[in-house]
Homo-oligomer: A and B are copies of this chain.
Amino acid sequence: MALIVQKYGGSSVATPERLKRVAGRVAENRRQGNDLVVVVSAMGDTTDELLDLARQITNRPSAREMDMLLSTGEQVSIALLAMALHELGQKAVSLTGSQVGILTDDVHRKARIAQISSDRIRAELAAGNIVIVAGFQGMDQNNDITTLGRGGSDTTAVALAGALEADSCEIYTDVDGVYTADPRVVPKARKLEFISYDEIMEMASLGAQVMQLRSVEHGKVHGVEIHVRSSFNRNPGTIIREVKEMNNHRPVIGVAQDLQTAKLSILDVPDQPGIAYQVFSALAKEAVNVDMIIQTAPRNGKADISFTVHEDDRERAQAVVGEVAKKLDASGVICNEGVAKISVVGAGMTSQPGVAATMFGCLAKHGINIDMIGCSEIKISCIIRADQVKEAAQALHTDFGLDA
């Protein structure tokens, strides 16, 4: 008898009909003799509807109260899924994040799981129940409700699988698995059978939003193999696991683009120590995540600093940098929105040279200008014009031998 953690996303439970279909699938697994912990997200557009309600009240909702509000979405789903399982003759019980004992820090809307108590779940499993857990939510040490950020239900599932030492963690979503590129952008994209934690983290951070980053981190830390698959068919999906278990790894396993990126530049700041610190510590204080950074070579004792942020952080970043620019006596701040990031990802590139050269050559061949360059161990990213990103993605997919 295996212990399986399954997670069904918002589109899989968007309507009562779909919820019943999920219940059928869960019941089938149960009849095969497995112990099941099922994590669910809010139904379809529920979260957006709740956000809209809040927007009618205020433009600057408190994060704590947003968590109080948003966490109701999953609570509705778990109650209904438990009812649907009862209707199929299965024993099932629903639990909120607080009831499970998912303890987080107190950073509302982006909380991190600190500890999971498995007592209540184990007791319910022992009583013969399928345990339905509200994804995306936990509670802090004050007993206040927290949420884990968009996609946080993945984190709930993976963290539970780790805490329960589950035999398997299945993430059901509306896509078949992880692809070498977004099929809407690159028609020749292929589904990957395996991908490493590091690779999918790079892919996810680049906008290929199959899994929430933190959920993969949890998987990596606790060694949880994650099976990403579709709730609408029976196809095998993609398994996320340690790279060392993979053979014949290509240098590049995927191409990803990110159009949700904005570039800011501070012009003519003094070329002296501590300037970059002033800029980026101010941004950090406002919780703005900075992605790529470049600083031009100084001329006449002045230099330009450019960096990119997620589109959502753009306004905040502009405000912060505007203040800092005044203090530094910079000549101005430029915000460039018509840009995108194109990246190639692959754990194999650490051992196989020439990936950067191939990438830059490919872009040059297609007349695509590179504005900024950034790398990690297993990723090379370029900022280019947003209207060239599709051509770039297709060309790179072909040149790195990824086409189907």
Residues of A within 8 A of B (CB): 16, 19-20, 50, 53-54, 56-58, 61-62, 64-66, 68-69, 71-72, 75-76, 78-80, 82-84, 86-87, 93-94, 96, 98-99, 120, 143-145
A87 with B19: CB separation less than 8 A: no
Contact of A86 among B65, B68, B120 (CB under 8 A): B65
B78 with A68: CB separation less than 8 A: yes
Whether A50 contacts B76 in the complex (CB less than 8 A), given A57-B20, A68-B94, comes out as: yes
A319 to B62, CA, bound (A): 52
A65 with B53: CB separation less than 8 A: no
Q: Contacts of A53 on B, CB cut-off 8 Å?
A: 16, 76, 80
- Nearest Cβ distance between residue A46 and chain B, in whole angstroms? 10
Whether A83 contacts B57 in the complex (CB less than 8 A), given A68-B78, A72-B75, A94-B68, comes out as: yes
Q: Contacts of A58 on B, CB cut-off 8 Å?
A: 83-84, 86-87
A69 to B96, CA, bound (A): 11
Identical copies in the complex: 2
A302 to B57, CA, bound (A): 67
The residue in chain B whose Cβ has the minimal distance to the Cβ of A17 is: B56
Interface hub of A19, A79, A80 (most chain B Cβ within 10 A) = A79
A144 to B78, CA, bound (A): 14
List the 8 shortest-distance A-B pairs measured between CB atoms, nearest first.
A69-B79, A16-B56, A72-B72, A68-B79, A58-B87, A65-B79, A65-B82, A57-B83
A57 to B23, CA, bound (A): 10
- Nearest Cβ distance between residue A213 and chain B, in whole angstroms? 27
- Nearest Cβ distance between residue A56 and chain B, in whole angstroms? 4
Mostly, the A contact residues are helix
A16 with B80: CB separation less than 8 A: no
Whether A80 contacts B94 in the complex (CB less than 8 A), given A68-B75, A99-B144, comes out as: no
A98 to B120, CA, bound (A): 17
B68 with A82: CB separation less than 8 A: yes
Q: Contacts of A72 on B, CB cut-off 8 Å?
A: 72, 75-76
A87 to B61, CA, bound (A): 8
- Nearest Cβ distance between residue A47 and chain B, in whole angstroms? 12
A177 to B78, CA, bound (A): 39
A19 to B56, CA, bound (A): 10
Whether A83 contacts B99 in the complex (CB less than 8 A), given A75-B68, A94-B65, comes out as: no
Q: Contacts of A56 on B, CB cut-off 8 Å?
A: 16
A80 to B143, CA, bound (A): 19
Q: Contacts of A79 on B, CB cut-off 8 Å?
A: 54, 65-66, 68-69
Q: Contacts of A94 on B, CB cut-off 8 Å?
A: 65, 68
A50 to B144, CA, bound (A): 24
A80 with B69: CB separation less than 8 A: yes
A339 to B206, CA, bound (A): 70
